[in-house]
């Protein structure tokens, strides 16, 4: 029974609206609802972002490792105004955003290229396995998927520690493989 003639459904509707406001404030950067102290609300929001970052790091370990000590801040800045879409999709969206900004570390570019080759993800629906052969590219890394097996054909270029220590591309693949 959802409502009674006495009008008991009105308080429940008000409670549902307040709960939705609180959830939006905690996970999607919404405005704090009336009656909540901003300090504890901000602390709870930060704790939830750290938890979410840990979940994404489990699905995208090379992305997290590639960003090193800056992982938590990078993720928190990116995720502060976005509701979660699940840790796999959150990591994928962050990796694509970093790639677009030319800020994706080489190991994370390889991880993204492998994921792009293995799965189809349009940014809206859940990733689905690819059936046909596919190529994934990110940050200079190239991965190919054939018959369900994924191989990294070309790793992402790393910055050399020593000046002039560039190894030549013997296959001249830069001319035929591009991002």
pLDDT digits (tens, 9 = 90+) for 41-91: 888 888 888 999 999 999 999 999 999 999 999 999 999 888 888 999 999
Domain count, the chain: 1
Give residue 38's domain range. Answer: 25-159
Residue range 145-170: mean pLDDT, rounded: 75
Residue range 11-29: mean pLDDT, rounded: 76
Specify if 141 maps to a domain: yes
pLDDT band, residue 175 (cuts 50/70/90)? low
Per-residue pLDDT, 1: 44
Specify if 179 maps to a domain: no
Residue range 100-126: mean pLDDT, rounded: 95
Is 104 exposed, middle or buried, given 0-12, 13-18 or 19+ CB atoms closer than 10 A?
Answer: buried
Specify if 12 maps to a domain: no
Specify if 166 maps to a domain: no
Residue range 154-177: mean pLDDT, rounded: 63
Specify if 175 maps to a domain: no
Specify if 2 maps to a domain: no
Name the pTM for this structure. 0.75
Per-residue pLDDT, 144: 96
Alpha helices in 60-149 (DSSP H): 61-67, 71-79, 87-100, 106-118
How many CA atoms does the CB half-sphere of 53 hold within 13 Å? 22
Specify if 99 maps to a domain: yes
What gap in Å lies between CA 101 and CA 104, rounded to an integer?
A: 8
Residue range 82-110: mean pLDDT, rounded: 94
What mean pLDDT value characterizes the chain?
84
Q: How many secondary structure helices (H) and strands (E) does the chain include? A: 6, 5
Specify if 165 maps to a domain: no
């Amino acid at each position: 029974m959802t409502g009674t003639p006495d009008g008991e459904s009105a308080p429940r509707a008000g409670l549902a609206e307040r709960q939705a406001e609180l959830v939006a404030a905690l996970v999607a950067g919404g405005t704090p609802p009336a009656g909540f102290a901003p300090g504890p609300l901000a602390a709870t929001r930060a704790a939830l972002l750290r938890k979410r970052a840990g979940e994404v790091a489990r699905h995208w370990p090379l992305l997290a490792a590639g960003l090193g000590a800056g992982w938590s801040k990078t993720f928190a800045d990116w995720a502060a105004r976005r509701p979660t879409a699940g840790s796999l999709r959150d990591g994928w969206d962050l990796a694509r955003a970093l790639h677009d900004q030319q800020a994706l570390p080489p190991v994370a570019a390889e991880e993204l290229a492998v994921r792009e080759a293995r799965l189809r993800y349009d940014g809206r629906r859940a990733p689905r396995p690819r059936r046909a052969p596919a190529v994934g590219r990110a940050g200079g890394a190239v991965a190919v998927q054939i018959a369900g097996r994924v191989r990294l054909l070309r790793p992402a270029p790393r910055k050399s520690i020593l000046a002039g220590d560039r190894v030549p591309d013997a296959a001249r693949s830069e001319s035929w493989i591009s991002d």
